[in-house]
Structure 1
Amino acid sequence: MRPVIPRYYVVAESEHELQNPISEEKLLVLGKTLALDRSSRVLDVASGRGGPALLLAGTYGCSVDGIEIEPAFQAVAHEHAHERELSELVSFRLGDASGIDLAPSAYDAALCLGATFVYGGLAETVAALATSVKPGGYVAVGEPYWRRLPLPADYDERNELFTTLDGTVTVFETEGLPVVSVIASSEDDWDRYETLHWRSVAGWLAANPDDPEAEEIRSRSERHKRSYLRFGRDYMGWAIFVGWKRPI
């Protein structure tokens, strides 16, 4: 199994119900797009603290199989499933999804929201999820994209793996899945997501000033904050792209 994610993210996302710049309302739009109902079976790769899986299962009655590599996130997801009486519909497996053989054509929909690094990139993620989806099913991937190019030379946190909105859609099409929906984040979605990081880190630092990793987490938080304010808010978009696996 790969190492778990850096502790910074466990701290920074300790209050996040949704660990991406997206709203519950837009996730419900996703559920309708995927035509979820009580008969639907859904795969959620990198399911995190379980927010999307629990929302979709609670709203549409679908079953969701989550896979999450970070024990702290998986534990919270289990707890929330129990609290909301959804344990019979939702499961969260601890593990590295890239090392798990997914049953072919087992799911009506497969999700990977904000974690294409699990498989090494967007194309690899689309290909991996597509094998697990039944013909006629859907692959939904949440992925950043660049609103405009070129990027500033001093934008240190830019990721060269990301592409434009059109380029992201092209990746799906190249993998044989036409994109049938794009559900994009707003600035409000981004601000809620990013600023909750700031609050969570500030609260944790106040409560744990002598933690051995306190200074590293403080420094990383400040770096991410300045990068978002200077560049990310203007240049980086995020959306859920829904690809359709054509019936045979």
Structure 2
Amino acid sequence: MDLPREFTVRESGHRIHNPFTGEKLALLGRAVRLRPGTTVLDLACGSGEMLCTWAREHGVAGTGVDISTAFLTGARERAAELGVTGQVRFVHGDASGYVADEPVDVAACLGATWIGGGAAGTAALLERSLRPGGLLLVGEPFWRRDPPDQATVEGCHASAKEDFHDLPGLVGLFGGLGFDVVEMVLADEDSWDRYAAAQWLTVRTWLDANPDDELAPAMRTELDGAPLRHVRYVRPYLGWGVFALKRR
């Protein structure tokens, strides 16, 4: 049970595996008013940057769950680097079936809502681990502009326009599920660039070092098209944000 190897290669230089910068992640922690002792569950936690930095900056404690052994190794190293190994732990497993042993104050899934079959299902999954009155954090894409054709849809890594809502539609979805949207922090074009463009250098560096690897032809093809796809489709059309939700 692990991520496909090409995903690990592509994002091996990332600490944050979505279009958020460290500054955006720090802003989110301040925006939701974290306090020392807050307990956090992070499903599909990737390299654990949210938990590790929030443990250092805000005194939270928590658990991250992810399917990637490589990313979890990085998360544990990051926890040691920041001196928070006593506050956070990382579990290798399928986040789609994970429920905390004890209810937590904050349950999060940032950018991996496929674990619940979409934003609504992921909110329901997270709520199973949440104490009454606790806070959900859901990271999800949305259309910034109406995609004009199927090429744009597919260029934004979707199969159909209906895969994503626009921003009012997404906020309305959460409201319709019985949640108050109490905060949000949105990606911008720069944070999208830091997520996407950093992958190109990582892939090129890997290709230079591994020209005979069996994965090299596929990664070469990906790099040939990724920059143009990003600037033509993702950057102008696709938004992303983290939404803080509380049950009404």
Question: Conserved in 2, the CA contact under 8 Å of 1:10 and 1:72?
Answer: yes
Q: Percentage identity across aligned positions?
A: 39
Aligned partner (choices 93, 97, 102) of residue 100 of structure 2:
102
RMSD: 1.6
Question: Conserved in 2, the CA contact under 8 Å of 1:127 and 1:175?
Answer: no
TM-score, with normalisation over the residues of structure 2? 0.92
Question: Conserved in 1, the CA contact under 8 Å of 2:107 and 2:136?
Answer: yes
The aligned runs of 1:105-116 (5 Å cut-off) are 106-116=103-113
1:186-228 deviation per Cα after TM superposition (whole angstroms, max 9, x unaligned): 1111111111000100000000000011111221233333321
Specify the alignment match of 1:87 in structure 2: 85
1:121-180 deviation per Cα after TM superposition (whole angstroms, max 9, x unaligned): 111001111222122221111111001114323222342321111111122112211111
Distance 1:236 1:82 in 2: 35
Return the letter of the residue paired with 2:207. Answer: L
Aligned partner (choices 182, 185, 190) of residue 183 of structure 1:
185
Q: Alignment partner of 1:93: what SS?
A: strand
- Report the CA distance between 1:103 and its aligned residue: 4.0
Distance 1:210 1:185 in 2: 37
Question: Conserved in 1, the CA contact under 8 Å of 2:41 and 2:100?
Answer: no
Specify the alignment match of 1:213 in structure 2: 215
- Report the CA distance between 1:17 and its aligned residue: 1.7
Structure 2 residue runs of 5 or longer lacking an equivalent are none
Specify the alignment match of 1:164 in structure 2: 166
Distance 1:151 1:124 in 2: 28
Question: Conserved in 1, the CA contact under 8 Å of 2:200 and 2:226?
Answer: no
Greater alpha carbon shift after TM alignment, 168-177 vs 190-199: 168-177
Question: Conserved in 2, the CA contact under 8 Å of 1:45 and 1:97?
Answer: yes
Question: Conserved in 2, the CA contact under 8 Å of 1:130 and 1:245?
Answer: no
Distance 1:208 1:172 in 2: 45
1:33-79 deviation per Cα after TM superposition (whole angstroms, max 9, x unaligned): 33212220001011101111111111001002100101111111112
TM-score, with normalisation over the residues of structure 1? 0.92
Distance 1:151 1:112 in 2: 30
User: Matched residue pairs, number?
Assistant: 243
Question: Conserved in 2, the CA contact under 8 Å of 1:67 and 1:92?
Answer: yes
Return the letter of the residue paired with 2:68. Answer: E
Q: Alignment partner of 2:36: what SS?
A: coil
Specify the alignment match of 1:7 in structure 2: 5
Cα 1:221–1:102 change in 2 (3 A) is farther
Specify the alignment match of 1:43 in structure 2: 41
Q: Does 2:197 correspond to 1:195?
A: yes
Distance 1:61 1:13 in 2: 28
Question: Conserved in 2, the CA contact under 8 Å of 1:146 and 1:236?
Answer: yes
Distance 1:216 1:7 in 2: 11
Cα 1:151–1:51 change in 2 (3 A) is farther
Distance 2:148 2:164 in 1: 12
1:89-130 deviation per Cα after TM superposition (whole angstroms, max 9, x unaligned): 1111000011223346x1111111110011211110011112
